[in-house]
């Protein structure tokens, strides 16, 4: 049975597979450019839960298997998509007349990042070649001069590569990030609720001068503030409903893990009804792989007054309005329905 068909019929089975097994189940199991295997693999990755993508990255890095580098390339590009870049995947294998980039990530502000993805930094990278890819993309009009290069490396030990870049003429155009750090950035983005936080996270991937630390401090401050506001969804209704909600009830915080459990159960039920899989966009915002079906799902406990309380923010309304089929779904902490 084809991977896409099996995924659509019983995704729980596929989610138990490691990425090597998933690739062997896709198409004819031979991963190459423009193959059915590649098409089905990309379809799966675009629908897979984010935490599964993290597991598959670790498997690619820790286990050497045929075409593991190609698989890692596809997964990293999917992470770029979930950081809200417009992503163009590169070729697995360079060929005459084609530009050999691994991916192009274009942010909403127009800055383009040319990706070079490596499982390990055990081998020196020809920075001139990577820079030439960027120059050719600029010359062909596919990206603007407002662009840079990002090298994504599977392991954290990048000292040799860092030294190589610092000593080259490309130092101001290239940055390095480990897959572990990239994963952390995506986790932070999903836990946030503000577009400003996502934009600042993306700015970290762009080369900038480090003598003045304002940019880094700004990212830390904005992100910490956003995550602090996410500590408890009940915070959103405290002030507005002070007349109705007793103060002793308000202080009884609900653990975030419990809120998430209820939210994911509700999303699973809606996903089955809509015949789609939802992936996390922001803390309470979710969408289908093609971003056409969208859900905002706040969760509330029942207060002593017998009421549930929710907040609906302009940013959430904007998110829903940009979809073709959108839902505002209210999760009830002590109920088996939403």
Residue 9 pLDDT level (bands cut at 50, 70, 90): confident
Domains of the chain are 49-228 (3.40.91.50), 235-332 (no CATH)
CA–chain centroid gap for 3, Å, is: 22
Residue 107 pLDDT level (bands cut at 50, 70, 90): very high
The answer, yes or no, to whether residue 167 has pLDDT greater than 80, is no
**Does residue 41 contact residue 33 with C-beta atoms inside 8 Å?**
no
Residue 237 pLDDT level (bands cut at 50, 70, 90): low
Taking the whole predicted model, whether its pTM rises above 0.75 is answered as yes
**Does residue 113 contact residue 205 with C-beta atoms inside 8 Å?**
yes
- Sign of CA pseudo-dihedral 230, 235, 239, 244: positive
* CA–CA distances in Å: residue 12 to residues 3, 7, 261, 275, 318: 12, 8, 17, 14, 32
**Does residue 92 contact residue 121 with C-beta atoms inside 8 Å?**
no
Tokens at 200, concatenated: 């600042």
Does residue 93 or residue 113 have the better pLDDT? 113
The answer, yes or no, to whether residue 243 has pLDDT greater than 60, is no
**Does residue 241 contact residue 186 with C-beta atoms inside 8 Å?**
no
The answer, yes or no, to whether residue 200 has pLDDT greater than 80, is yes
Q: What is the pLDDT of residue 250?
A: 47
Neighbouring-strand partners of residue 105:
87, 113
């Amino acid at each position: 049975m084809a991977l896409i068909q099996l995924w659509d019929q019983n995704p729980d089975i596929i989610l138990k597979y490691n990425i090597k097994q998933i690739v062997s189940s896709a198409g004819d199991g031979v991963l190459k450019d423009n193959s059915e295997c590649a098409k089905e693999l990309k379809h799966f990755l675009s629908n897979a839960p984010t935490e599964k993508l993290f597991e598959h990255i670790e498997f690619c890095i820790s286990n050497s298997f045929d075409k593991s580098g190609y698989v890692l390339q596809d997964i990293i590009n999917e992470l770029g998509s979930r950081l809200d870049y417009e992503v163009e995947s590169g070729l697995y294998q360079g060929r005459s007349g084609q530009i050999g980039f691994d991916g192009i990530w274009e942010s909403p502000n127009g800055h383009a990042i040319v990706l070079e993805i490596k499982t390990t930094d055990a081998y020196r990278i020809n920075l001139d070649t990577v820079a030439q890819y960027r120059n050719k993309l600029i010359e062909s009009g596919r990206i603007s001069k407002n662009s840079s290069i990002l090298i994504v490396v599977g392991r954290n030990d990048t000292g040799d590569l860092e030294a190589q870049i610092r000593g080259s003429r490309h130092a101001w155009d290239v940055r390095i990030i480990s897959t572990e750090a990239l994963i952390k950035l995506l986790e932070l983005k999903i836990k946030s609720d503000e577009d400003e936080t996502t934009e600042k996270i993306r700015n970290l991937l762009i080369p900038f001068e480090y003598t003045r630390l304002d940019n880094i401090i700004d990212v830390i401050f904005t992100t910490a503030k956003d995550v602090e506001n996410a500590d408890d969804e009940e915070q959103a209704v405290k002030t507005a409903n002070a007349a109705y909600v007793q103060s002793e009830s308000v202080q009884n915080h609900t653990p975030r893990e419990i809120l998430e459990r209820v939210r994911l159960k509700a999303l699973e039920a809606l996903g089955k009804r809509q015949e789609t899989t939802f992936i996390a966009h922001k803390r309470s915002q979710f969408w289908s792989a093609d971003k056409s079906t969208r859900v905002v799902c706040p969760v509330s406990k029942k207060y002593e007054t017998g009421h549930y309380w929710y907040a609906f923010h302009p940013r959430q309304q904007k998110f829903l309005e940009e979809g073709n089929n959108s839902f505002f779904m209210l999760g009830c902490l002590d109920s088996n329905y939403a």
